[in-house]
Structure 1
Amino acid sequence: MANISIRGLEPETLSKLKALAKKENTSFNALVLRLLDRSVGVSPEKPLYQRHEDLSELAGAWSQQEAEEFEANTACFSNIDPQQWQ
């Protein structure tokens, strides 16, 4: 991989790039590489890495049939043996 130096970068541009890198929880270098790749059509618009605060992308991932099979296969774990609790 090649290295480059960028001269003449406006302070406001630098500030905005740093703020964007912080917002996306990525390094400044990774952000600049992604933006350059995207600008010349090498990579898709979606960021390479995204910070997630929850599991919302996993919720509802099962089909209705898969959910029913899971419930059926784990139903035995809901049974309580009263003799074990004496």
Structure 2
Amino acid sequence: MRQITLRQVPENIDILIRVMSKKQNKSINKTIIALLEKALGLRDNSNKKRDLSKLAGTWDKSQSEEFIKNTAMFDKIDREIWE
């Protein structure tokens, strides 16, 4: 395998890579390779979801209550239309 030397890495990128590698319990080298694979479309994303599941449960109680209040009118049945 070949080696690449990367110079002048911005401090914010360096910090994020180090934090990511520590969280994933991987070496910095493996973390950077995984990031490159993902960026280049080489990583298998077979479990990639194409729905809104990552947004589920993100509202707090007050936001949920506000949504229910603001959409309550859609639960009413217009009797004239359905007769």
Alignment partners' CA distance in 2, 1:39 and 1:5: 18
State how 1:5-84 maps to structure 2 within 5 Å.
5-45=5-45
Unaligned runs of 5+ in 1: 47-86
In structure 1, give the amino acid aligned to 2:12. E
Q: Which runs of 4+ in 1 moved over 4 A?
A: none
In structure 1, give the amino acid aligned to 2:36. L
Q: Taking every aligned residue pair, what percent have the same amino acid on both sides?
A: 24
Q: Deviations over 1:51-73 (max 9, x none)?
A: xxxxxxxxxxxxxxxxxxxxxxx
TM, length-normalised to structure 2: 0.50
**How many aligned positions are there?**
46
TM, length-normalised to structure 1: 0.49
Alignment partners' CA distance in 2, 1:45 and 1:7: 30
Alignment partners' CA distance in 1, 2:2 and 2:33: 12
Unaligned runs of 5+ in 2: 47-83
Greater RCO, CA 8 A, separation 6+: 1
Structure 1 residue 6: deviation in Å? 0.8
CA change 1:45–1:7 in 2 (3 A) is farther
